[in-house]
Amino acid sequence: MSVTSSIVDKLNELPPASSLALYVSLNTYFDALRAIVDIFATKNDLYVFYISSTIPSKNIVGLLEILGVDTSRVFFVDTISHLMASASETSDKYLYIESPTMLENTMLKIEYLLRKYRDKKAVVVLDSVNSMAIHNDLKILSEFLHIFVTSLRTWEAYMVILSMKEQNTPEIVNMLNLVCDDVFDAGGEGK
């Protein structure tokens, strides 16, 4: 079974309003993107609200287009472009936050999208917990994830938290075990 298929199968097993910690490696990152944004979201007719804290949103769109993924249902909450002085004009498609340390604002931008685009359910993708951990201490990050995951349940939204295996620490793994309903290792190297 391909990595993409195994991730899709795992996502399909989840009941609505679930949160999943998805462990990926550099080798399986693109498979994960295709599985979530393309196959799972399309099949279930979901919006994708994508929190980018590793790569600027415009670059992710570029990657998805190379993969042949339709990005029309994807909305970005971009926490990294401002830091790199590459944020362009804001729109619902690209909502920029000044810094990945503005965790409450990240929640609020997702709430904005959930309130505005109520016609479909959504899957919220956090890419990635490791880059968030670079900018935030784990105590406040744990608090953020706990509140965020809980609030997303009331919207019946799926939450997928990407975790790069090469960059994981035992503390990050413990935190994800604590806040997520389920975990899935998509294979590849790392913890």
Report the residue number, 90 or 174, with the smaller CB distance to another protein.
90
Token code pair at residue 65: 């287009």
Report the residue number, 73 or 109, with the smaller CB distance to another protein.
109
Token code pair at residue 41: 């979201």
- Taking alpha carbons only, the member of 162, 70, 77, 71 closest to residue 114 is 77
Residue 49, CA distances (Å) to 32, 76, 95, 147 in order: 15, 6, 10, 17
The window from 38-46, 108-116, 122-130, 172-180 that contacts another protein (CB under 8 A) reads 108-116
List the one residue from 27, 101, 181, 191 that touches another protein (CB under 8 A).
101
The window from 16-24, 31-39, 41-49, 133-141 that contacts another protein (CB under 8 A) reads 133-141
Size of the site for another protein (CB under 8 A): 20
Q: Does 115 bind another protein (CB under 8 A)?
A: yes
Distance linking the first and last C-alpha atoms of the chain: 21
Crossing angle, helix 103-116 and helix 138-154, to 10 degrees? 10
Q: Does 27 bind another protein (CB under 8 A)?
A: no
Task: State the CB neighbour count (10 A cutoff) for residue 176.
Answer: 21
CA dihedral 141, 63, 21, 36 (to 10 degrees): 130
Residue with tokens 């880059």, as numbered in its chain: 131
Minimum distance of another protein from residue 147's CB (angstroms): 6
The window from 2-10, 71-79, 110-118, 180-188 that contacts another protein (CB under 8 A) reads 110-118
Q: Does 109 bind another protein (CB under 8 A)?
A: yes
Sites of contact with another protein (CB under 8 A): 98-99, 101-105, 107-109, 111-112, 115-116, 137, 139-140, 143-144, 147
